[in-house]
Amino acid sequence: MELTLWTYEGPPHVGAMRIAASMEGIHYLLHAPQGDTYADLLFTMIERRGQRPPVTYTTFQARDLGGDTAELVKGHISEAVERFNPDALLVGESCTAELIQDQPGSLASGMGLNVPVISLELPAYSKKENWGAAETFYQLIRGLLQEKANDHSGHNPTAWKEQGRKPTVNLLGPSLLGFRCRDDILEIRKLLNENGIDVNVVAPLGATIADLKRIPKSDLNICLYPEVAESVCSWLERNFGMPFSKTVPIGVGATEDFIKEVRELLEMPQQKNESTDKSKLTWYSQSVDSNYLTGKRVFIFGDGTHAIAAARIAQKELGFEVVGLGTYSREMARPTRAAAEKLGLKALISNDYLEVESAIAEAAPELVLGTQMERHIAKRLGIPCAVISTPMHVQDVPARYSPQMGWEGANVIFDTWVHPLMMGLEEHLIGMFRHDFEFTDGHQSHLGHLGGQAHQEVVQPEKQSQDIDDLHDAEQSLPIWTSEGKEALAKIPFFVRGKVRRNTEKYARQAGCRNIDSETLYDAKAHFKA
């Protein structure tokens, strides 16, 4: 039994819904009690879909349990097939139905329906949403393509050359409730077209059953979101000999690597390296304005794909210092650990947001890159933050075009990550000028009046210095700040004040100082620089 106050991922059948709702012509029969229908709102409210997800819930009740629930399931299946006339029927169960073991998949298969039935077994008591999405996508592809596997074993990714046509690829993994998938597809399609590569099938988002059947006809698979598509890509590789690309093109460097990998797999000539200029991130990061970004301490947490990509961008493209890296996704624990190790860190693999919160507090970063939950954590801690990953929030489905992948994705990332820091800087300037006579009391920057995240993420300059007194009430063992020491601390820009305070106290304890004055502050500064 696990005590959970909030969860990053839903149950696995929600992952299955993501696949069903992403596609066209699919219906999902879900053996589940009433109440489980809440999942519809994830699509119709968070993602603002104008259609209900294609799901029929059996909504059985306690009084049905005494009778024949199998008949109830069959009744719902016939009715759903008649009403929705799908090209394929997914059949599965949620956590409660798993316990009563009606085996709706077998029931449906035995009904002689004139529609392909894909039975899903998604263990609700051990697995979670992303796993459910990956498994559903895999079962669907396997169910539709298995028979053809042997015909295609001699797959040749360079067939396009002999056939005198452009190479074609499939984009696998984008789904509803995935982070910016809608825009990533457009961006990657554009990127591939510039490289003379055509996109054959995009799946599951927007795909039909007929589209899935066309997958083996392409030269190469692109695994855009490993959380959803890696198992499918591996299966297609094993059974159809189709290779797949493994680089996720988020960030300038990763986008370059992605192009290289794809061209190599297709045996296309490599291009001269001129792509760095295609994103403004490279120049903006090099420009003198960005000097202040140097060594900014950043804490990263999210799904595996986006967290790992963010770590690379933060370190290699923006010159930040990554002080924490983690993921809630156990399936991505291994690559995340490897990425963290390279940075000299121990990865945080956790589904407990309170654990994430204390790790952030401990690391005392200047910027948090995380999910909506880390945004709230950062707000509480007074640290700027940008959102890089699911779980999805209505704010993560912006009306404007805002991919994460490719060149434009890198532009979006630069703006999204750097603006919260600039806002912090602006607040600092206000702090500096607040004693000028032009500065009327109570004035705030325009940010101060914003209702949105900008306002909430800006640190209140006064707050942290006041906290010192509170802190001493709580922990008597800490050295005491003299009023002169406090004054000196208050003059330090607020966005490094927390770190300076922490370091100075640490130094004072080590050095055995009982009182902290401005000299202790300078001593500590020199000590930590040395």
Task: Give the residues lining the site for another protein (CB under 8 A).
Answer: 1-7, 9-11, 13-14, 33-42, 44-45, 48-52, 56-62, 65, 76, 79, 83, 94-96, 99-100, 123-126, 128, 353-354, 372-373, 375-376, 380, 393
Beta carbon nearer to another protein, 104 or 243: 104
Residue 68 CA to residue 71 CA, distance in Å, equals 6
Preceding amide of 391 cis, omega within 30: yes
Beta carbon nearer to another protein, 22 or 119: 22
Beta carbon nearer to another protein, 81 or 250: 81
How would you write 302-367 as a 3-class SS string? ECHHHHHHHHHHHHHHCCCEEEEEEECCHHHHHHHHHHHHHCCCCCEECCCHHHHHHHHHHHCCCE
Q: How far is the CB of 242 from another protein (least distance, A)?
A: 30
CA angle centred on 355, ends 354 and 359, rounded to 5° = 115
Run of H or E including 236: helix 226-240
Q: How far is the CB of 413 from another protein (least distance, A)?
A: 22
- Give residue 42's region: left, alpha or beta (phi > 0; psi -120 to 50): alpha
At a CB cut-off of 8 Å and minimum separation 6, what does 327 contact? 301, 302, 303, 304, 307, 333, 336, 347, 348, 349
Catalytic option among 102, 184, 257, 289: 289
Question: Which of 499, 503, 500, 509 is CA-nearest to residue 478?
Answer: 509
Specify the DSSP class assigned to residue 268. Answer: P
- Radius of gyration for the alpha carbons in the chain, expressed in angstroms and rounded: 27
Q: How far is the CB of 63 from another protein (least distance, A)?
A: 8
Residues counted in the chain: 530
Q: How far is the CB of 14 from another protein (least distance, A)?
A: 7
Beta carbon nearer to another protein, 52 or 217: 52
Residue 122 CA to residue 136 CA, distance in Å, equals 8
Beta carbon nearer to another protein, 240 or 353: 353
Beta carbon nearer to another protein, 95 or 496: 95
Q: Distance from first CA to last CA of the chain, Å, rounded?
A: 48
Beta carbon nearer to another protein, 238 or 393: 393
Amino acid at 151: D
Q: How far is the CB of 126 from another protein (least distance, A)?
A: 5
> Strands 88-93, 26-31: parallel, antiparallel or unpaired by DSSP?
parallel
Structure tokens at 288: 């003198």
Alpha-carbon torsion (234, 240, 246, 250), positive or negative: negative
Q: Say if CB 128 and CB 10 are below 8 A apart.
A: yes
Beta carbon nearer to another protein, 6 or 433: 6
Q: Is 102 a catalytic residue?
A: no
Q: How far is the CB of 39 from another protein (least distance, A)?
A: 8
Q: How far is the CB of 138 from another protein (least distance, A)?
A: 21
Q: How far is the CB of 388 from another protein (least distance, A)?
A: 16
In the sheet that 348-349 helps form, which strands lie side by side, from edge to edge? 348-349, 321-327, 297-302, 367-370, 385-387
Catalytic residues: 289
